[in-house]
């Protein structure tokens, strides 16, 4: 498998044509810590890139190179770059004001839209990022149950707060060292001992966690499709099992739909899989690229926020710019009977099958998991079922693949996850599959 993608040649060629990004990255480091605004962006090979514009499915870097973009800003750009309906909504709101720290009609409009499309949503509340809204959900679960702990799964990501950034991507050595105890992702983290860790798709590990800590567990939180560690779907009946065990234990079930929300379907993973949680968190695609997050829940689950017993605050919460973008995004996705979803699912399938075919022709061992608009290429023999299975992925080979594709004008995330938007076309998919064939 050595050199199958001619990565060294591609890297040399790319370094020449994208030199402007490297110059800027070096310059940025003198004033911006680490040269990036979010630590995970450092993972891009050969260096973090600088962009100047995006339109539809394409993004252009500072050297004028255009790429078909399958990163979609790590998920939010469900309608592609700078979509017309969102542009118009923003332009008209810009002239009226940016934020008021007070009530306005868009709050009613967007909360009604959300309660009409999300199965668990009888009430919603807003914040600005996925990290924040997950904390609101956990606080609510603690307040409703009077319990301190929460159960999370290894490999699942729920933002960068101390409490949840545990057992996210533990190495084999860390798993060996910590066993089932929470593994902090970086130094300086505290309060992470409230997490009880279980294995995704493994009923026995969840039952064992409840047997050991059941009376202390306020909620189970999960990505209903494990997008942050390989787009691993729940096994048949697993979400139903979580619904059942939380109910019988008096704990809440929280779906973290920050990725799956408005991506798998208008009603998120809960609509797609037909299992309704007590609470669900949304961000990323909800506002098509503007900073907005929301929590949705049953009337009963949201009562402590409605009554003010649980504090939920934030200066920019529900600001009119983000909500104008959300209204435009959701209405566009819902138009024409939700035809955008049929299209994203079809193109996603064509893309994954086409790439898989080309890779197999080259002798690359590959399997694909996920669903339509978000999927993952794994360079390993069998599709992972739980986080630990993903450790078999040939990361070095995948990094060569992503590097070679970048030189071919295809931008994909470094970890193997691919996002498809409503702006991608048959032509984009064909060009991408051809590029994989050429490597």
Ligand X SMILES: Cc1ncc(COP(=O)(O)O)c(C=O)c1O
Q: Which stretches of the chain bind ligand X, using CB under 6 A?
A: 129-131, 134, 157-159, 223, 228, 256, 258-259, 283
Nearest distance, CB of residue 349 and ligand X, angstroms: 23
Nearest distance, CB of residue 271 and ligand X, angstroms: 17
Q: Write the DSSP assignment of 176-230 as a string of letters.
A: HHHTTS--BSSTT--SGGGEEEE-TT-HHHHHHHHHHHGGGEEEEEE-SSBGGGT
Q: Is 284 a catalytic residue?
A: yes
Nearest distance, CB of residue 218 and ligand X, angstroms: 18
> By beta-carbon distance, which residue lies closest to ligand X?
130
Catalytic hit among 256, 278, 389, 415:
256
Residue indicated by tokens 């993972």:
43
Closer residue to ligand X, CB minimum distance, 80 or 289 = 289
Closer residue to ligand X, CB minimum distance, 134 or 185 = 134
Catalytic hit among 67, 157, 168, 398:
157
Nearest distance, CB of residue 365 and ligand X, angstroms: 27
Nearest distance, CB of residue 21 and ligand X, angstroms: 23
Here the contacts of 52-59 (C-beta below 8 Å, separation 24 or greater) are 53/81, 54/80, 54/81, 54/82, 55/80, 55/81, 55/82, 56/80, 56/81, 56/82, 56/83, 56/423, 57/81, 57/421, 57/423, 57/424, 57/425, 57/428, 59/411
Catalytic hit among 58, 149, 152, 284:
284
Closer residue to ligand X, CB minimum distance, 283 or 413 = 283
Closer residue to ligand X, CB minimum distance, 13 or 129 = 129
Rounded Cα gap, residues 73 and 88, in angstroms: 20
CA distances in angstroms from 411 to 72, 78, 166, 206, 417, listed in the order given? 9, 16, 29, 38, 11
Closer residue to ligand X, CB minimum distance, 76 or 214 = 76
**Catalytic residue ranges:** 157, 256, 284
């Amino acid at each position: 498998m050595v050199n199958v993608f001619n990565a060294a040649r591609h890297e040399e060629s790319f370094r020449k044509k994208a030199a402007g990004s490297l110059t800027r990255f070096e310059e940025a480091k003198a004033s911006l810590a680490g040269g990036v605004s979010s630590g995970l962006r450092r993972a891009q090979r050969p260096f973090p890139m600088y962009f100047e514009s995006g339109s539809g499915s394409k993004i252009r870097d500072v050297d004028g190179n255009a790429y078909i973009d399958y990163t979609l800003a790590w998920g939010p750009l469900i309608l592609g770059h700078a979509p017309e309906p969102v542009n118009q909504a923003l332009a008209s709101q810009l002239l009226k004001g940016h934020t008021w720290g007070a009530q306005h009609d868009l709050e009613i409009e967007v909360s009604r839209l959300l309660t009409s499309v999300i199965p668990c949503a009888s009430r919603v509340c807003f914040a600005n990022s996925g990290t924040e809204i997950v904390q609101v959900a956990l606080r609510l679960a603690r307040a409703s149950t009077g319990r301190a702990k929460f159960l999370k799964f290894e490999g699942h990501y729920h933002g960068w707060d101390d409490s949840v950034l545990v057992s996210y991507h533990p190495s084999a050595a860390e798993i060996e060292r910590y066993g089932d105890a929470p593994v902090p992702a970086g130094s300086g983290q505290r309060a992470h001992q409230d997490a009880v860790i279980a294995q995704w798709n493994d009923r026995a590990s969840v039952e064992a966690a409840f047997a050991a800590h059941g009376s202390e567990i306020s909620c189970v939180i999960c990505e209903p499709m494990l997008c942050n560690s390989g787009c691993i779907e729940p096994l048949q009946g697993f979400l139903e099992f979580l619904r059942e065990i939380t109910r019988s234990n008096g704990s809440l079930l929280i779906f973290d739909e920050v990725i799956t929300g408005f991506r798998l379907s208008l009603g998120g993973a809960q609509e797609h899989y037909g299992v309704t949680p007590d609470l669900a968190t949304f961000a990323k695609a909800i506002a098509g690229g503007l900073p907005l997050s929301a929590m949705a829940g049953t009337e009963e689950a949201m009562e402590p926020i409605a009554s003010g017993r649980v504090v939920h605050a934030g200066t920019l919460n529900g600001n009119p710019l983000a909500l104008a973008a959300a209204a435009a995004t959701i209405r566009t996705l819902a138009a024409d009977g939700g035809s955008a979803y049929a299209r994203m699912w079809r193109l996603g399938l064509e893309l994954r099958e086409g790439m898989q075919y080309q890779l197999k022709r080259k002798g690359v061992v590959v399997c694909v998991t996920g669903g339509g608009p978000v999927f993952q290429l794994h360079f390993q023999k069998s599709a992972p079922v739980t986080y630990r299975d993903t450790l078999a992925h040939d990361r070095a080979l995948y990094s060569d693949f992503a590097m070679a594709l970048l030189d071919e004008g295809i931008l994909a995330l470094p970890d193997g996850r691919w996002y498809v938007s409503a702006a991608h076309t048959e032509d984009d998919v064909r060009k991408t599959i051809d590029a994989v064939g050429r490597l």
